[in-house]
Structure 1
Amino acid sequence: MTNTKRPASARAELRRDAIKEAARRLFVEHGFHATGIAAIAKESGVATQQLYRDFSSKEDIIAEIVTANCERIADQDRLNAALIEKDRAGIMAWLVSTPSRKDDTGDRLFLEVAAEAARNERIRAIYLDVRAQAFANISRAFAGLMGSDAVSDEHRALAQAFMLIELGSVCARTLLDDPVQPASQRLIECLVGGANT
């Protein structure tokens, strides 16, 4: 007799994914602060005790959600390939596409995490880690555009300006329901153009 059931590790991964998806929906709808573990357990259909075995806290859940979002959004493989090949058009395309990746729930979740970071040290640490990773990648992209393998202060300054534009774009899209892509893209193109000279 063959066992057609999924292995325990696959079931655990599916359960963890269900918890993360339920938590994501609740964090976006009600906010991180107002969403409790009991609500996440109910929404995901996972018993509270099991949820605590999978994740010891809400912060652990948000850490995994944020990490997965960043990996999806960053598209680091595409950037790395463009940098290795010294493909300026590919690097520019990566930079220009980064702030225009509109994802309503992702934008709202990002703002929720940023707000919670102001009052929760663990979330602040997660937020700062994600920001540091993004900053490093964007700095590397500007270095590549300028024909350098090493990141300089000038590349970091351009990355900082880029991130300010990106943050403003997320806020305008989410809070003002303003599709700012033309203005955002023009600012990015000006930064990229400056890096090309």
Structure 2
Amino acid sequence: MITDQAPVCLRAGGKAAQRREKITAAARKLFIENGFHATGVAQIAKESGVAVGQLYRDFASKEAIIAEIVASDSGEFLERGDIVLGVALRDESAVWQWLHDFLIPDPDCPNVLIAEIVAESARNPKVAEIFKRCHNTVHAGLLRAIEVLLPGDDVASARVCMADMLLMLSLGLMQHDLIRGEAEARRMAEMAFASFRTQILALRGADQAPAAVAGVACRPSAARNTELA
């Protein structure tokens, strides 16, 4: 059965893997330049130097190419050696650094592509599903990291809330970067991370008061509470 889920493929080695990388690199470039909606498979094939028929053997659809790009980008960050080892060793310093990097704008990661995917999600159910899968995967990765800083069943719902907040902030900062520029987005990201850190320390019982963060306590939705109960 052919689906829009990108098939599993080794990232390195083999002509097939190299060809897929050429296709996704070409698609990434065209999506940024022209937008997802205005980019056709024939254009991607021409840009990558791969025949249209062969491209369809590697990817069932344009959405499948998006799925591979999203999976590759999110996987690269979530599988970074420092955070994998940091969580395994419960190294708080490594986890703090990784969470900081999650929020700070990356000049090598064009936010315009992410914004394009988010926009396309509103009109394309297939892209919306891809984005939802990515969102859930990143959320799970954030939860694993936050658990090192905030362990215990009694704060499980707070961990969910903190992960939700980081995802919300990261998407907002990406838009802010596009509108106001990297320097301003970086300044706001540093402020957001400081607030996040203060809230975590408050939940751990440190000297910082939760009210110093945003004036309100962090309360997950009823749906989340039911799920975690």
TM-score class, shorter-chain normalisation, is 0.7 to 0.9
How far off is 1:114 after superposition?
0.6
The percentage of aligned residue pairs carrying the same residue is 32
CA contact (8 A) 1:135 1:159 kept: yes
Aligned match of 1:5: none
Aligned to 1:35: 39
Measure the CA separation in 2 of the matches of 1:139 and 1:70.
15
What is the CA-CA distance between 1:177 and the residue it aligns to? 2.1
Q: Is 1:158 aligned to 2:162, yes or no?
A: yes
Q: Note if contact 1:28-1:105 (Cα within 8 Å) is conserved in structure 2.
A: no
Instruction: Supply the AA of the counterpart residue of 2:129.
Output: A
Cα deviations across residues 165-185 of structure 1 (Å, max 9, x unaligned)? 111111111233242212212
1:122 aligns with 2:126: yes
Matched, 1:184 2:189: yes
Q: Which one of 104, 108, 126 corresponds to residue 112 of structure 2?
A: 108
1:56 and 1:184 map into 2 onto residues whose CA distance is: 38
- Report deviation, 1:41: 0.9
Cα distance in 2 between the residues matched to 1:40 and 1:98: 30
Q: Is the 8 A contact 2:105 2:174 kept in 1?
A: no
Provide the rounded CA distance (Å) in 1 between the counterparts of 2:134 and 2:35. Answer: 19
> Aligned partners of 1:176 and 1:104: how far apart in 2?
17
Give the whole-Å Cα distance in 2 for the aligned partners of 1:105 and 1:77.
19
Question: Which letter maps to 1:189?
Answer: A
Equivalent residue in structure 2 for 1:61, among 62, 65, 86: 65
In the other structure, the counterpart of 2:78 is: 74
Q: Which runs of 5+ in 2 are unaligned?
A: 1-12, 203-229
Tell me which moved more, 131-140 or 22-31.
131-140
3-state SS in 2 of match to 1:46: coil
Equivalent residue letter for 1:120: N
- Kept after mapping to 2: 8 A contact 1:74/1:134: yes
Q: Contact (CA 8 Å) 2:105, 2:177: kept in 1 or not?
A: no
The answer to whether the 8 Å contact 1:139/1:151 transfers is no
AA at the equivalent of 2:197? V
Instruction: State the shift of 1:62 in Å.
Output: 0.8
Q: 1:150 to 1:12 in 2, by over 3 A?
A: farther
Q: CA RMSD in A?
A: 2.0
Distance between the aligned counterparts of 1:117 and 1:87, measured in 2? 36
CA drift of 1:69 comes to 0.7
Report the count of equivalent residues.
189
CA deviation map 1:102-124 (0-9, x unaligned): 14653111111111111111111
Unaligned 5+ residue runs, structure 1? 1-8
1:24-56: CA deviation from partner (whole Å, max 9, x where unpaired): 100011011100011111111111111111111
Inter-partner Cα distance in structure 1 for 2:87 and 2:155: 12
**1:6 maps to which residue?**
none
- TM-score of the two chains, using structure 1 as the length reference: 0.87
Query: Could you list the per-position Cα deviations for residues 43-93 of structure 1 after superposition, in whole angstroms to 9, with x for gaps in the alignment?
Result: 111111111111111011111111111112334543232222221111111
Q: Distance in 1 between matches of 2:60 and 2:132?
A: 21
How far residue 128 of structure 1 moved from its aligned partner, in angstroms, is: 0.5
What residue is the counterpart of 1:147 in the other structure? 151
